[in-house]
Amino acid sequence: MRITNPTILRGYNRDLNRLLNLKTQTEKRITSQRQFARASEAPLAAAKALNVRKSLYYSAQYKENLKVADKFYTEAETSLLQVSEKMAQIRETIIAACNTTKDMQDYNIYAQQLETSARELCSIFNTDSAGRAIFGGESDDPSPFEIINDSNGNAATVLYHGIPVNAMSDYKQYPYSKEVNLDIGLGMEIDQETQEVDPQSVLNISFVGTKVSGCGAEYGVADIDLSQIKENRMYCIDVYAGNVKKTIAFKGQVLPEDNVKVLNAALADAYKREKGLGEGYPKVDAQGVVYLVKDELDADDNVVNAEVPVEDGIVCIVNNEYRNEVDKYTEMKDGEPTVIVAKELDELKKVNKKQIKIYPEKLVVDNDSGYTNKFKVNVDNLEDGEYYSLEVKVGNEDAKTITFQASDNDDPELRTAETLNNIQQALDEAYGTAGKVNISKTKVTQGMITCEGSPVKVSCIDNKGTPPTAVKADIISKSTSKFDTSKFETGKTYTFTVPNGVNITVKVDDNTNDIVDKFNNANNTYTMDTNGVITKKADGSFAGGVTCKDETGATVPVGAKTDYSINLGKMIPGAKYELKVITDDGRNVKNISFEAGENAEETLANLEAALNDNTVKFTKGDEDGVYNVNEGTALANTIYPSKENPIVERESIYSNNYIQLTLDAARALRNGDIAYANGCIDRIVTANENLLVEIADLGCNEEFISFNLDRITTREENLLDRQNDLEGADVKKEITLWKTYEAMYNACLQMSSSVVPNSIFNYIK
């Protein structure tokens, strides 16, 4: 069979192009170091390589996330170490203030130091990383912590995202408290029911400031000044009760009791309390105190006791500031305005009634959830039927002393109620206006004395009935030297030394009775009566401090004779007094109790009846109400309290947030309240110990991050090896192939002269 030239030529061209293509592909693999450029060249290897590339992409992302988290955790740990050092300084400052006797100026200096430390703590907690405050939770707010001053310009309250840190005890209820999580390749899982990420499958990179620094207080109530609420004025407040925030608005009424009703109705509507349900809901009492109550249920969910006070609950109230993004309007309904809260102006279009923009008044509120200026009478610590006195100072008014009797009712609840009523009656009598100064009867704040619009300071008087200084001032004593004349011996010479330095020498000749006459004849200044009492001749006044020695230098025993005058007219009617009475030259000592009558005569009768002793008699003095004790008796001029009973105590509530605790300690020092400041020390120590645990947890997380970085790095290396196996070209092999293809190609070209026929040009040539 004959093969034509065109057929030979086509075969030659095909082989030449194939060799050129193989040579070119080999060159590409050598230069790119890849086995293929398109997935179609190696579909199976390309599919496997694509999975490897995806794994490498996610690994790089996880690695970057871990680096961000590592930076975040490192800066958080550094910040908390600074906080720990600052708290140690705060502790030392409080100890120095409490353990050294200082005046108020020194306490103010220590208080200023504590305020500065609190501000520095806030600054540390506001540290940011990558544009986010480390301890701001999920918020981008650069300053989640803030300190606001009181009316005196002193740092008073710590806020976290605008909410007092004492307002709620659950840090999760504060704004921006949700976790910000990073996927670091642990296999992130999402709960299909809640649609929440499993925290064990991710890494948290958000820290809630109130979780780290603490939040809430031991307990707390809010005190609304009902007297400042104006009629027909609108008020709007944010109420934090039982870790739930609600905004309520109400219209002021004429009478305080009506305002209490309106407030309770607004609170009930806001918290939508159903019978027997709820952990706790707020309630306002007659004095304007807002506190938590709850319903006690039986096994069948029936209410056994309704509105039982929650003694460890917290209520905090803040005036709503009516920011621009939240407008308040009223809707006229039956001639009465009803408050509408519209977050967006478009919502108002849905209301068909007439809208009137309102500007609320600021409600006067005192949140007692930290250090307060409130004083409480511990009525449970009183003895049945006994009289007590309190010194009460309202605002800038002079302090007044009130006296009341503790009830002796056998029923504990009735006994407490009657005692509180007795105190309230004494307050009304002292201040003239019923209800001006009140003592709380609510169980949570029981015994707290307050006055609407003015601070009240209460001092405890330990002895029953009256302050010791008042009684001491009303008992006047005169004391003179007294010698026992029977102690002087016949034939001896005695020398008397008197305060003015003049010595009187007397010799006893016949009998010891001569000592009186010999003494009186020996000088013109002093005289001695038959009882051995020495007085001045000029005016009969007492002469104390006289001493006597015999001729051998031995000292003659000297005693003292004391006369007393008591101003019975200045004693508080109905108050109980205790006096120490000494008779028979000190051989008979007894304490007697008596009650002051309506006048001096009644008091004298009560005193003599209490003495029941004819040896002690009283005679009318020169002044009205003053009585002198007759000779031969001694009445000690000291009031002896029947019991040191600290029945008054400052309301001492401690914050769980150590920044707020620092400010409270500063406030206590400014008031000279060392006991409260001292109580802050142990709490600061405990907080620092908890802080060290937080720091240790951060360290553990940093180790976890480091471990995962190493894990991902190793994984990347394995993936790169796998990728190279799937995609990488064997360069040595490809170079050998390229050399082979090049040689074959060149050989093919050299054979072209015998394969390609000569053209006409060859013949022409």
pLDDT at 705 over 60: yes
Dihedral angle over CA of 252, 256, 257, 260, nearest 10: 50
Residue after which a domain boundary falls, among 557, 590, 610: 557
Task: Indicate if the pLDDT at residue 145 is higher than 90.
Answer: yes
Cα–Cα distance measured from residue 672 to residue 88, given in angstroms and rounded to the nearest whole number? 22
* Percentage of residues in the chain having pLDDT higher than 70: 81
Question: Mean pLDDT lowest for which of 45-54, 157-166, 489-498, 624-633?
Answer: 624-633
Angle of the 674-727 helix axis to the 43-99 helix axis, nearest 10: 170
Question: Helix/strand/coil (H, E, C) string of 149-171?
Answer: ECCCCCEEEEEECCEECCCCCCH
Assess if residue 432 is contained within a domain: yes
Q: Same domain, yes or no, for 316 and 413?
A: no
Instruction: Determine, yes or no, domain membership for 675.
Output: yes
Which range has the worst mean pLDDT, 222-226, 491-495, 510-514, 640-644?
640-644
For residue 568, the 8-state DSSP code is G
Q: What is the mean pLDDT of residues 630-650?
A: 55
pLDDT for the residue numbered 303: 77
Does the predicted TM-score (pTM) go above 0.85? Answer: no
Give pLDDT, residue 89. 94
Q: Is there a single domain that holds both residue 392 and residue 529?
A: no
Q: Which of 145-154, 466-475, 702-711 has the lowest mean pLDDT?
A: 466-475
**Does the pLDDT at position 675 exceed 90?**
no
pLDDT reported for residue 27: 79
Give yes or no: residues 420 and 272 share one domain: no
- Residue 244 falls inside a structural domain: yes
Examine the domain organization and report whether 392 and 521 are in the same domain: no
Whether residue 733 lies inside any domain: the answer is: yes
- pLDDT of 543 > 90? The answer is no
Within this chain, do residues 543 and 584 fall inside the same structural domain, yes or no?
Answer: no
* 136 and 63 part of one domain: yes
Q: Is residue 132 part of a domain?
A: yes
pLDDT top residue among 614 and 75: 75
Indicate whether 86 pLDDT > 90: yes
pLDDT grade for 327, boundaries at 50, 70 and 90: very low
**Model confidence pLDDT, tens digit, residues 405-433:** 788 888 888 999 999 998 898 888 788 77
617 or 642, higher pLDDT: 617
Exposed (0-12), middle (13-18) or buried (19+): which is 233, by Cβ within 10 Å? middle
Do the domain assignments include residue 310? yes
pLDDT at 641 (0 to 100): 38
Is residue 390 predicted with pLDDT exceeding 70?
Answer: yes
How many independent structural domains does the chain possess?
A: 6
Looking at the domain assignment, is residue 314 inside a domain? yes
For residue 513, the model assigns a pLDDT of: 66
Structural domain boundaries enclosing 202? 52-217+654-713
What is the reported pLDDT for 664?
93
Residue 251 has pLDDT above 50, yes or no: yes
Residue 272 and residue 231 in one domain: yes
pLDDT at 356 exceeding the cut of 70: no
Asked if residue 562 is part of any domain, the answer here is: no
Same domain, 171 and 250: no
Residues 411 and 492 occupy one common structural domain: no
> Does 257 score more than 80 pLDDT?
yes
- Strand 155-160 and strand 145-149: the pairing is antiparallel
CA gap 723, 45 in Å, rounded: 10
Q: Are 201 and 187 in contact (CB under 8 A)?
A: yes
- Per-residue confidence band for 323, with pLDDT thresholds at 50, 70 and 90: very low
* 175 and 153 belong to one structural domain: yes
Count the residues in the chain.
Answer: 765
At residue 683 the predicted structure's pLDDT band, cuts being 50, 70 and 90, is very high
The fraction of the chain above a pLDDT of 90, given in percent, is 15
pLDDT of amino acid 317: 92
E strand segments, 485-587: 493-497, 503-507, 526-528, 534-536, 547-550, 559-567, 576-583
Query: How many angstroms separate the CA atoms of 90 and 115, rounded?
Result: 10
Separation of alpha carbons 181 and 198, rounded Å: 10
**pLDDT score at 159:** 93
Same domain? 63 vs 200: yes
Query: pLDDT tens digit string along 155-193?
Result: 889 999 989 999 999 999 898 888 887 777 777 777 777
- For the record, the structure tokens of 240 come out as 């934090």
d(CA 442, CA 364): 20
Q: Which residues contact 111 (CB under 8 A, 6 or more apart)?
A: 154, 666, 667, 669, 670
Q: So what's the pLDDT on residue 52?
A: 80
CATH code for position 133: 1.20.1330.10
**Rounded average pLDDT over 444-459:** 84
Do 709 and 737 lie in a common domain? no
Which of 449-453, 541-545, 595-599 comes out lowest in average pLDDT?
A: 541-545
